[in-house]
Structure 1
Amino acid sequence: MDGRVIRNPVLPGFHPDPSILRVGEDYYLATSTFEWYPGVRVHHSRDLVHWRPLGGVLTDRRLLDLVGVPDSGGVWAPDLTYHDGLFHLVYGVMDNYAFGFKDITNFLITAPSIEGPWSDPVRLPGRGFDASLYHEDGRSWLLSMVFDSRPGRGFAGIELRPLDGGEPELILPNRDVTEGPHLYKADGWYYLMVAEGGTGYRHGITVLRSRSMSGPYEEDPAGPMLTSRHDPGLALQKAGHGCLVRTRTGEWYVAHLAARPYPGGTCVLGRETALQRVTWVDGWPRVPGGVPAVEVPAPGSVADSPDLTDAQPLGVLGPEWSTLRRPASPDWLTAAPGGLTIQGGQSPYGLRSPSLVARPVTASTCSLEAVMRFTPGNVHQTAGITAYYNSRNWHYLALTSDGLVLTTSDRGTRTERRLGGPAGAEGAEGAEVRLRVEFDGPVVRFFGAHHDPELFGAHHGRELVHLGPELDATILSDEHADEHIDGHVRAFGFTGAFVGFWVQDLAGEGCAARFEQISYRT
């Protein structure tokens, strides 16, 4: 070891369900993106310590259609592998998960390079989600959990199916919400890694092995490979959904999801990606202590790391930004070094064509700031800055025809606070307002600056002033977004909080807002 340390989470904020892959000297991490474009966010590293975002793979509707998907629907648990000179990406698109059903379709695309070009999607057979591929001797097999929608059923185990034809086999019955399968082979054993316990505080990783790919599989007698369920004092909770990778020199690591809860147990930052070192003991891959560590020894021998500095100029839609339910395209979004121009879209509750450009909240203390140029023409047109979780849970400071309005949606119940009168039009691009949203632990604050006394009252001027009350950040958490009715899931909370810019044009009359001098800070 050279003393370098991996510090977790390696991908902070919304980066769940990691799939890790090494090709030569390069490591790639793919994570779930749910209702956000581009689908399947990928990061690259040479040393497992430093990671740079490459952006999303599924950039357009040819590869991914998210129109109308529910909150925390869309892309679930991608799997990235490399075989026969091609990158293989398997991903599921969840169209509905409520009231006892799971309407998901699994797809496969391939590319000669991680940058593409990616092939047209091929629909895969399968009876559930969390699909992955295993390659051996020129053949490929598809693994996935099986979902049984009959009342009182649900999770039904892990299925294995040859991609070149043949019947599926149930190689592992359901044990405890068994999902997220990955298959490996070492020293004549097949190792089946699964996630169990659900994606919350009981989450964990279990490893089983067999001499035959079809099983039967026996569990590691030492118990779960990784879990936080027995120790609420650990900094990383919800540890689970893992994927193994071997370094060029033979060291092993597991990428897994984890969360850093606030006091009280809410996870505003969502589910993040962490790495743990794996050692082989008595023929089993194990994490020291079976619990996630914040600091982990880095590989002892690595290739030279590339320049991982994000050189994107402020205002350019770089790889850390996402758009909601529709891809970034010139018909509604223009990104240039000077800033963003966003054409208005649906209401905050619309599931087809909202106009929201946002990025994940990556630290408990952070802020997003910009200068907005916008003048609403009527009551149907609004624009501003938001702290956002999903269509039912958000805070939004917007310039409207009635002036500045601060709105909170808490599980769909709206509370509006009018903060000032209407602003007059100022030039071709409209009124200029500086806006800022700030996360400070469990609190969200909004700030603004404008020289118009009607808009900001006694606080008008060029200096940012705090507008409205302190707001509850914990309604923008995975736990708060989870909703159940009569024991059935109504909504999941899988994504973590975002900050971003939002524009509405409810009558489709062509309004747009311009955002400049964009700055995100932690």
Structure 2
Amino acid sequence: MTLLHNPVIRGFAPDPSMVRVGDWYYVATSSFEWFPTIPLHRSRDLAHWEYAGHVEGAVPGDSLAGVPDSGGIWAPSLSWDGERFWVVYSIVRSVGTPYFDTDTYVATATEAAGEWTAPRRIASHGFDPALFHDGGRLWLLNLQNDHRPGGRRFAGIVLTELDRETLAPVGDTHLLLQHERLVEGPKLVHKDGWYHLVLAEGGTGFEHGVLVARSREITGPYELDSQPLLTSRDDPSLPLQKAGHGELVQLPDGSWVLSHLTARPLNTPNGPRCPLGRETAIQAVTWDAEGWPRLRHGGPHPSIEVDVSTHPRSSEQPAPSADPLGWPWSTLRAAPDPSWADAAARPGWIRLRGRHGPESWWAHSLLAQRITEHRAEAQVTVEARPTTFTQAAGLVLWYNTESYLALDLTWAEPEGEEQRGQQWRDRGGRTVLSLVERDEGSTRQVAVVDVPTESAFTIGVTVEDGVARFWSLGAHGVRTPVGPELDFTRLSDDHGSKLRFTGAMAGIHAVDLVGAAFTADFTGFRLSCG
């Protein structure tokens, strides 16, 4: 037996889709507007997970430029047909509208970390697609979206058979189930003559859950279980909240587990917030006398510690990435490109060329890594010489274009002079550290500190108890605070008025709004969590 500790994949790893292939378990998670697209993790024991690559080329044209925050790739579904991996996913191009404007794609690979086929577009009924392989036949499950005024926006779960070679629809689309609560994220399992339809219920926030329906025929009709398989919505004191979006997987010894998303909230004066985003967890499952799946420990609540019957952890260690800009780095809306992110220009450094500002959906020069624990610290050494207020580079705590904290090296007018564009440039100006807080519709500069420009210097941030404290490193390693304490919990799904689905990141960025030529060099980036 192996004891796992949930979440097993920590920090911004939502909508897990898990499959077993031989002795390995693989999980695909949502990437939204971030690259690499569709991160993949693998494990032998379900407790210790390692990055196993991603679905490269998942976005036609390799660009999500213009896609809004929390758009992009939603809820990929990973499957195995005995010979190759399949992944199906939707690219959502409109968030917060009735249409969603989804494009649904399928790609395949013989190895998860290998080369994936070019994505092929298939029927796009709505987001959260899944594939089910059944006796040589291929079925597409999907949420049906009804955009019409007065319609049911989430209009039930539909099923369409696809031709395995052409991926064209075969026959009619079948409506499997509608429910008074929102159901999405459909997955199918065939066991003991029953088709079990596993559903995400109630949305992806604190009301989330997993519900199961079943039928003797794949096309229905489906009867709903009288109780949820998993939820934490009835007990706000549970350490694992938002439990939902599940998938059942059978282990080699015949036992079962459920992969699902969850979140670890911080209590704040504004209610619980989960800045780490939604994460991946696993529960042990048994089947009751009537043939319904149940959590092995009883009840519907997620457990932190779970015993599973798996192989011992492999002694093999994954090879470190040969790419200094590879995982765990992530980038917005496109993969890193040497034209703006160069690890070869100066050995041991990363050179970023400034492009759009941090609120751009198009070309923001940002490299970031996931924050995985509520206590974290990030620091980096930066060298740059901005000559205008339109140039900046530094350290960011990032959620999206409307929620971030940035400590940037930039240019400002001489102290005491009015801020009126570039008229003071001939009189020298000064180099400063500028601490900026962006929160939906409002941006404020909370601190300005003069700094020397003769050499590189180190800046950092410490996050603890939901508070972010920025600092610079002075002589003899002394940390000097920059600005006041700031609310880190605003960088979460649970703050603001718009839909949010990702998680907080720490990283480096550069901006040059006029010439797109200003560069900044960074070295020694370190993010420690826990």
Match of residue 168 from structure 1: 173
Match of residue 456 from structure 1: none
> Would the aligned equivalents of 2:446 and 2:484 in 1 still touch at CA under 8 Å?
no
1:118–1:251 Cα change, 3 Å:
same
- Aligned partner of 2:26 among 14, 25, 28: 28
1:229 aligns with 2:233: yes
Deviations 1:374-399 (A, max 9, x none): 11132221000011111001110000
State the Cα distance separating 1:85 from its structure 2 match. Answer: 1.2
State the Cα distance separating 1:25 from its structure 2 match. Answer: 0.7
2:485, 2:146 → 1: CA distance?
45
State the Cα distance separating 1:198 from its structure 2 match. Answer: 1.0
1:317 aligns with 2:315: no
1:93 aligns with 2:117: no
SS of the residue corresponding to residue 71 of structure 1 reads: coil
Map of 1:354-503 to 2, 5 A cutoff? 354-402=364-412, 403-421=432-450, 423-424=452-453, 426=454, 431-450=455-474, 462-481=477-496, 483=497, 491-503=498-510
State the Cα distance separating 1:59 from its structure 2 match. Answer: 5.2
One-letter amino acid of the counterpart of residue 156, structure 1: A
2:275, 2:312 → 1: CA distance?
35
One-letter amino acid of the counterpart of residue 461, structure 2: V
2:368, 2:147 → 1: CA distance?
35
SS of the residue corresponding to residue 489 of structure 2 reads: helix
What TM-score comes out, normalization by structure 2 length?
A: 0.90
> Would the aligned equivalents of 1:228 and 1:236 in 2 still touch at CA under 8 Å?
yes
SS of the residue corresponding to residue 343 of structure 2 reads: strand
State the Cα distance separating 1:60 from its structure 2 match. Answer: 7.3
Deviations 1:462-500 (A, max 9, x none): 53221110001121111114x2xxxxxxx3111111111
One-letter amino acid of the counterpart of residue 510, structure 1: A
SS of the residue corresponding to residue 376 of structure 1 reads: coil
1:89, 1:65 → 2: CA distance?
19
State the Cα distance separating 1:318 from its structure 2 match. Answer: 3.8
> Would the aligned equivalents of 1:60 and 1:327 in 2 still touch at CA under 8 Å?
no
Cα RMSD (Å): 1.8
SS of the residue corresponding to residue 369 of structure 2 reads: strand
1:324, 1:520 → 2: CA distance?
19
Match of residue 130 from structure 1: 128
1:141, 1:81 → 2: CA distance?
12
SS of the residue corresponding to residue 474 of structure 1 reads: helix
2:177, 2:516 → 1: CA distance?
55
| Identity rate, percent | 41
> Would the aligned equivalents of 2:159 and 2:174 in 1 still touch at CA under 8 Å?
yes
- Aligned partner of 1:276 among 271, 277, 283: 283
SS of the residue corresponding to residue 478 of structure 1 reads: coil
- Aligned partner of 2:187 among 168, 176, 182: 182
One-letter amino acid of the counterpart of residue 253, structure 1: V
> Would the aligned equivalents of 1:342 and 1:355 in 2 still touch at CA under 8 Å?
yes
1:43 aligns with 2:41: yes
> Would the aligned equivalents of 2:474 and 2:480 in 1 still touch at CA under 8 Å?
no
1:63, 1:56 → 2: CA distance?
16
State the Cα distance separating 1:62 from its structure 2 match. Answer: 3.9
1:58, 1:309 → 2: CA distance?
19
- Aligned partner of 1:290 among 300, 303, 320: 300
1:334–1:59 Cα change, 3 Å:
farther
Match of residue 519 from structure 1: 526
1:377–1:56 Cα change, 3 Å:
farther
State the Cα distance separating 1:54 from its structure 2 match. Answer: 2.2
1:272–1:413 Cα change, 3 Å:
same
> Would the aligned equivalents of 2:58 and 2:119 in 1 still touch at CA under 8 Å?
no
- Aligned partner of 2:64 among 63, 66, 74: 66
State the Cα distance separating 1:201 from its structure 2 match. Answer: 1.0
Deviations 1:95-146 (A, max 9, x none): 0022322111110011111112111110010311100000012110000000
> Would the aligned equivalents of 1:50 and 1:308 in 2 still touch at CA under 8 Å?
no
State the Cα distance separating 1:57 from its structure 2 match. Answer: 1.8
State the Cα distance separating 1:266 from its structure 2 match. Answer: 0.9
Q: Which runs of 5+ in 1 are unaligned?
A: 452-460, 484-490
1:12, 1:270 → 2: CA distance?
9
State the Cα distance separating 1:422 from its structure 2 match. Answer: 5.5
State the Cα distance separating 1:18 from its structure 2 match. Answer: 0.4
SS of the residue corresponding to residue 317 of structure 1 reads: coil
> Would the aligned equivalents of 2:102 and 2:124 in 1 still touch at CA under 8 Å?
no
How many residues of Structure 1 are paired with residues of Structure 2 in the alignment? 495
Q: Which runs of 5+ in 2 are unaligned?
A: 164-169, 413-431
Match of residue 102 from structure 1: 100
1:335, 1:253 → 2: CA distance?
42
Match of residue 212 from structure 1: 217
Match of residue 257 from structure 2: 253
> Would the aligned equivalents of 2:57 and 2:118 in 1 still touch at CA under 8 Å?
no
2:67, 2:522 → 1: CA distance?
28
1:356–1:509 Cα change, 3 Å:
closer
1:290, 1:97 → 2: CA distance?
31
State the Cα distance separating 1:161 from its structure 2 match. Answer: 0.2
What TM-score comes out, normalization by structure 1 length?
A: 0.91
- Aligned partner of 2:246 among 228, 235, 242: 242
> Would the aligned equivalents of 1:155 and 1:174 in 2 still touch at CA under 8 Å?
no
2:208, 2:342 → 1: CA distance?
41
2:314, 2:36 → 1: CA distance?
26
